[in-house]
Amino acid sequence: MKNGKPESYPSRIISFIAAFIVLLLPILYEPIASGQDEFSAGTPAGVRFQSNHRVWQLGGYVTGGFPPAYEIHSSPLHFNETLYFFNGGLQAGRLLSSPKGPGFLRGRPEAILEVEPLWLAYIPKQTITVYSTLNQSPSRSTIQSLLYHGVSVTPLLPRWNFVRRDGQRMTPWLELGSGLLWTTKNFPQGGGPGRSTNRINFTPQVGVGEDLFTTPTQSVDVAVKAMHISSAGLGEYNPGVNVTLQFSVGYS
């Protein structure tokens, strides 16, 4: 909060859009030179780099994120709040078929499983401006820091790997799925007597990323995800977190 007014997030939105565009560029444009698709050292001449032929994928990753505009509604009061996410997880995947599809849509489907034994949501100490639906003048209040612990599992995360040709060292992908989140206390904030949130939430999500291969079987993985967190009505009160942006880096 600045001067008692809700924090503005245009720079974060611009950063997300820029990251999204950068990750999508390899889908639309092939490498400038075919030599970029091969290892220059340790690879015999004429042997192509088969990065997109790794059938199994096993690895780990770390994630950080935030909701662009997180607003708490607890009738008759509502206010904007700063919230951050920090996660660490493991990932397993398996390619399901050979390359299929026309043009830049050509690719390979993959089934992904993600488990995050370390899931943290952190609300820092902050001063907020509280508004009332009863048309009273807004007031200022201080929120103490709060940390949520949890575990998240996404059992089925279909992914499409864009494979334009054998030998590409960068494999962009697009995925869509939903997971399950359990926290040690009700998440998110909000509600009151008889109107509590829930420890169990669902995490529908869509993501875009790239596998950057360092060897034919190993890659550095980067991604950007948009994720919704909601209990789907399991609790008496379901404010949810409409959209969170998750930025991750990992190694497989």
What domains are defined for the chain? 10-28+50-251 (2.40.160.20)
pTM listed for this prediction: 0.77
Q: What is the pLDDT of residues 154-204, one digit of tens each?
A: 998 999 999 876 667 899 999 999 999 999 999 988 765 567 888 999 999
pLDDT beyond 70 at 21: no
- For 242, the token pair is 């409409």
Task: State residue 167's pLDDT score.
Answer: 65
Extract the tokens encoding 77. Answer: 């009061």
What is the pLDDT, as a whole number, of residue 191?
A: 62
pLDDT recorded at residue 194:
63
